[in-house]
Amino acid sequence: MGYGVNQKRIWATTTSYTSHASVEVAGNKNRTKAMLDAAGVPVPNGTTVYSEDELREAIEELGFPIVTKPLNGNHGRGATIGIKSWVEAVEGFKAAREHSRAVIVEQLVQGHDFRLLVVNGKLIAAARRTPAAVTGDGQHTIQQLIDKVNEDPRRGVGHEKVLTSIKADQHTQDLLLTQSLTLDSVLPAGQELYLKTTANISTGGTATDVTDLVHPYNVLMAERVAGIVGLDICGIDLLTSDIAIPLNETRGAVIEVNAAPGFRMHISPTQGLARNVAAPVVDMLFPAGSKSRIPIFAVTGTNGKTTTTLLLAHIVAAKGYKVGHTTTNGIYIQGVQLQSGDCTGGQSAEFVLKDPTVNFAVLETARGGMLRSGLGFHTCDVAIVTNVAADHLGMRDIYTVEDMAAVKGVLPRTVRKNGWAVLNADDDLVYAMREKLDCRVALFSMNEHSPRIREHAEHGGLAAVYEEGYISIYKNSYKLRIDRAAEFPVTFGGRATFNIENAMAAALACYCYGFEKDEIKQALRTFVPSGVKTPGRMNVYKFPQFEVIVDYAHNAHGMEKFAQFLEATEATHKVGVISGLGDRRDEDTLAFARIVGRVFDEVVLRQDRDLRGKTAEELRELMTEGLRLDAPDIIITYIENEMEAMDHVLHTARPGSLIAMFTEDIKSTLQKLDEFEAQIATNHG
């Protein structure tokens, strides 16, 4: 329950606060009885025996009737009550020995069986438990009466329902035998017959709520018992003729103390008022004013999600938080990658939120993950939507960009009421998302003269713009300049306008959350993209004769942004290593290839290992057609294997050229470039 460092764990009714030592005490009935007896709590007289000889000595001292039960046991297993003869005593001894080497022998305390529940030192509920029983009608056999009782829809197997079905086991048949009855016997009308000697719900018993009847003496006694044993959630079993009378006056006794007590009899009693006994447990785990959640930043959009997520995680970590973040590259806890691969779905989010060391989560949230497994969280503090463009259309019932926007728009709608949705005002579909939100909205734009930004700011809204080379925040019609965008390494001196946009979204999100302007500025200045920090996102390798850039642009919108960067970059010859994707519509692949053909002098066409639904030949033809739409004379070399394509361009690169590798296998690509770099260094050495 709860997230990250603020989570608390509960297993059945054992919690993060349950003491192992106290569970051990409760499990040892002798030790429990000795501690309670020393504290003045009424307990039955008795002893522990290990043999039939010792059993005989105990009976001589205690007299009949007696009870036998295993030293370590629960749910009434191995217990025999109301023993009145030596033969019964031996049978009871053997039944207990099946569960424990040591057997407790006690005087029988007369009275009804009551369960008192204490949570966090306070009595919460009390129930009178009645053993499994049937009432005769003069017509049906005992087995038929049992079957009739089990038809009650409230009864089921084990703990699946509020009551447990009655099972006529060997214990039941032995009990019948003592009364000269069998399962085929017919009881007289009105005669009640107990089928078990214990009143546990798990053996078919029933419960009647008596919380409001418990005498103050018994309330105090129960709360003292829980404290003596040391249990945060404690079930106390006692026998007494009347729970409304002090236990010491009825000659009753506490017969057992239980760790991890069942809640069924209190939540759904057979008779009486149902008690919400779970609420006090939650109140104990999370007292008023304590936190159960950790802050969550969530990022979605068609392009820029991963870089924005990495920027956010860096800014937040620089502030001193222990960050867990997810991206298409993996799951990271405090900067250490614990899982690799596309981790942008609900299960990855849960991985971070369950980590007990994390106190801030930054989660990349992609379309596929949302459709497959949801978000993995109910609400977030800040949601960022970078953009919505044509990508993955025709998959999972998403056929239009508007359909895609409907999916992406789920994320900002999960922002808590006082949280922030950070939206791209330059994107019509993203800007329109603000109309369905119940949280605060902040906008960002690459156009300082955007009428949307102006209107938003005039109404007191928070916004960020790129103006005169600066990333600035509008607040109350004033501009707060974060820094010159060119100062941020991720913008490559301001040439990578798409990363200016990503940095602006991250800066605005952190400012909305309450980070100081200078903290954001310093963090953005120290975020240096690299194969380690931002794998596959604008990784630059400067070799003596040429330059290589590794990127992930894989749709028309992303390639358009990369093209702007490429046009602002000087090079004698520009080479692109590219592939088509089989899970895109033909028109999307053609549009993507068309942009590639326009910005490169030469293209090496390769194939991904996973062709995603199309053949290699189909993809080759589509890409070739798209590349030549605006550049009929472009040089196209077809090398199917990605690593072979890399080898080709690295060994045929012209001086002063720029090679852009749009890779599927980021890890292998970066490894090959590192090896190539090391080889050059060795040769020049």
Mean pLDDT of 333-344: 91
Return the structure tokens found at 603.
Answer: 């293209």
Q: How confident is the model at residue 337 (pLDDT cuts 50, 70, 90)?
A: very high
Q: How confident is the model at residue 684 (pLDDT cuts 50, 70, 90)?
A: low
Give the pLDDT of residue 557.
Answer: 79
Give the pLDDT of residue 177.
Answer: 87
Separation CA 352–CA 5 (nearest Å): 11
502-506, 509-513, 600-604: lowest mean pLDDT where?
A: 600-604
Half-sphere exposure of residue 254: CA atoms within 13 angstroms, side-chain side:
31
Q: How confident is the model at residue 585 (pLDDT cuts 50, 70, 90)?
A: confident
Separation CA 237–CA 79 (nearest Å): 14
Which is higher by pLDDT, 323 or 132?
323
Give the pLDDT of residue 282.
Answer: 96
6-15, 338-347, 397-406: lowest mean pLDDT where?
A: 397-406
CATH code for the structural domain at 296-525 = 3.40.1190.10
Give the pLDDT of residue 421.
Answer: 97
566: closest CA among 525, 596, 521? 596
Mean pLDDT of 652-658: 91
Does residue 395 carry a pLDDT above 90? no
Q: Could you give the percent of the chain with pLDDT greater than 90? A: 55
Mean pLDDT of 659-670: 87
Give the pLDDT of residue 390.
Answer: 60
Which is higher by pLDDT, 400 or 603?
603
Residue extents of the structural domains in the chain:
45-108, 112-285, 296-525, 539-684
pLDDT tens, 300-315?
A: 998 889 999 999 999 9
What is the pLDDT of the chain when averaged over all its residues? 90
Give the pLDDT of residue 74.
Answer: 66
Does residue 159 carry a pLDDT above 80? no
Mean pLDDT of 144-160: 88
Task: Provide the 3-class DSSP secondary structure of residue 243.
Answer: coil
Query: 539-684: what CATH class?
Result: alpha beta
We find that the CATH architecture of domain 45-108 is: 2-Layer Sandwich (3.30)
pLDDT tens, 17-31?
A: 999 999 999 998 889
Residue 271's CB is within 10 A of a number of other CB atoms, namely 12
Separation CA 309–CA 509 (nearest Å): 11
Mean pLDDT of 355-381: 89
Q: What is the dihedral sign for C-alpha 203, 206, 209, 215?
A: negative
Give the pLDDT of residue 106.
Answer: 87
- Note whether 69 and 96 are within 8 A (CB): yes
- Note whether 307 and 533 are within 8 A (CB): no
Expressed in percent and rounded to 5, the helix, strand and coil fractions of the chain are 35, 25, 40
Return the structure tokens found at 148.
Answer: 């009739």
Mean pLDDT of 432-459: 93
Main-chain dihedrals φ then ψ at residue 126, nearest 5 degrees = -145, 145
pTM: 0.76
- Note whether 129 and 200 are within 8 A (CB): yes
Give the pLDDT of residue 296.
Answer: 97
Token pair 């300082």: residue: 448
494: closest CA among 483, 504, 486, 505? 486
pLDDT tens, 215-248?
A: 999 999 999 999 999 999 999 999 999 999 999 9
Does residue 523 carry a pLDDT above 60? yes
Mean pLDDT of 344-369: 92
Return the structure tokens found at 455.
Answer: 């209107």
Mean pLDDT of 645-652: 90
CATH code for the structural domain at 112-285 = 3.30.470.20
